[in-house]
Amino acid sequence: MKKLVDLISEDVKEAFIQKGYDEKYGIVTTSNRPDLCQYQCNGALSAAREYKKAPIVIAEDIVEVLKENSRFKEITAIMPGFINITLSDEFLAEYLNNMNREKDFGCEKDSAPKKIIIDYGGPNIAKPLHVGHMRSAVIGESLKRIFKFMGNEAIGDVHLGDWGTPMGLVIAELKRRKPDLIYFDESYTGEYPKEAPFTISELEEIYPAASAYSKENPEFREEAKQITYLMQNGHRGYMALWKHMQDVSVTDLKKIYEKLNVSFELWKKESDAQPYIPDMVKYFKDNGYARISDGALVVDVKEETDTKEIPPCMILKSDGATLYHTTDLATIVERMKLFNPDHILYITDKRQELYFETVFRCAKKTKLVNENTKLQFIGFGTMNGKDGKPFKTRDGGVLRLEYLIKMVTDEVYRKIMENRTMEEEEAKEVASKVGLAALKYGDLSNQASKDYVFDVERFTSFEGNTGPYILYTIVRIKSILEKFKQTGKTINPDSDILPAKSSTERELMLQITKFSDMIHAAYEELAPHRICQYIYDLADKFSSFYHETKIISEDYDDKRQASLILMISLVEGILLTCIDLLGFEAPDRM
Query: What's the pLDDT tens digit per position in 44-80?
Result: 999 999 999 999 999 999 999 999 999 999 999 999 9
Average pLDDT, integer, range 563-576: 97
Rounded Cα–Cα distance for residues 431 and 528 (Å): 23
The residue type at 217: N
Side chain identity at residue 111, one-letter code: S
Residue 347 confidence class, pLDDT cut points 50, 70, 90: very high
- Report pLDDT digits (tens) over 318-331: 988 899 999 999 99
What pLDDT does 184 receive?
97
pTM for the model stands at 0.95
The residue with greater pLDDT, 510 or 394, is 510
The rounded distance, in Å, linking the Cα atoms of 341 and 56 is 51
Give the CA count within 13 Å in the CB-facing half-sphere of 93. Answer: 18
Which of 118, 119, 136, 120 minimizes the C-alpha distance to 401? 136
**Distance between CA atoms of 66 and 41, rounded to whole angstroms?**
13
Rounded-to-integer distance, Cα 577 and Cα 586, Å: 11
Helix intervals (H) in 366-495: 401-419, 424-444, 456-459, 467-486
Average pLDDT, the chain: 95
In this predicted structure, what is the pLDDT of residue 422? 85
CATH superfamily placement of domain 120-161+269-374: HUPs (3.40.50.620)
Backbone φ and ψ for 280, nearest 5 degrees, come out as -65, -45
pLDDT at 164: 87
Rounded Cα gap, residues 92 and 98, in angstroms: 10
d(CA 305, CA 315): 24
State whether residue 315 is helix, strand or coil.
strand
Contact criterion met (CB below 8 Å) for 534 and 518? yes
The DSSP symbol for 154 reads E
In this prediction, residue 24 carries a pLDDT of 97
Architecture of domain 4-87 in this structure = 2-Layer Sandwich (3.30)
Q: What is the mean pLDDT of residues 548-556?
A: 84
Q: Kindly report, residue by residue over 363-418, the tens digit of the pLDDT.
A: 999 999 999 999 999 999 999 998 888 887 777 678 899 999 999 999 999 999 98
Q: Quick one: what percent of the chain has pLDDT higher than 70?
A: 99
Q: Comparing 4-87 with 120-161+269-374, is the CATH topology the same? A: no
- Residue 131's closest CA among 475, 313, 390? 390
Helix, strand, or coil (residue 534): helix
Average confidence (pLDDT) over 335-355: 97
Cα–Cα distance measured from residue 187 to residue 471, given in angstroms and rounded to the nearest whole number? 62
Residue 388's pLDDT is 86
Given a cut of 90, whether residue 133 has pLDDT beyond it is yes
> Stretch 434-448: mean pLDDT, rounded?
97
Predicted pLDDT at 489? 87
What stretch of H or E contains 348? strand 343-349
Tell me which DSSP letter residue 111 carries.
Answer: S
Other beta carbons within 10 angstroms of residue 548's beta carbon come to 11
The pLDDT of 416-439, averaged and rounded, is: 92
- Give residue 493's pLDDT: 84
Mean pLDDT of 277-306: 96
Domains of the chain by residue range: 4-87, 120-161+269-374, 165-259
CA dist., res. 564 & res. 509, Å (int): 11
Contact call for residues 400 and 408 (beta carbons, < 8 A): no
What's the pLDDT score for residue 558?
86
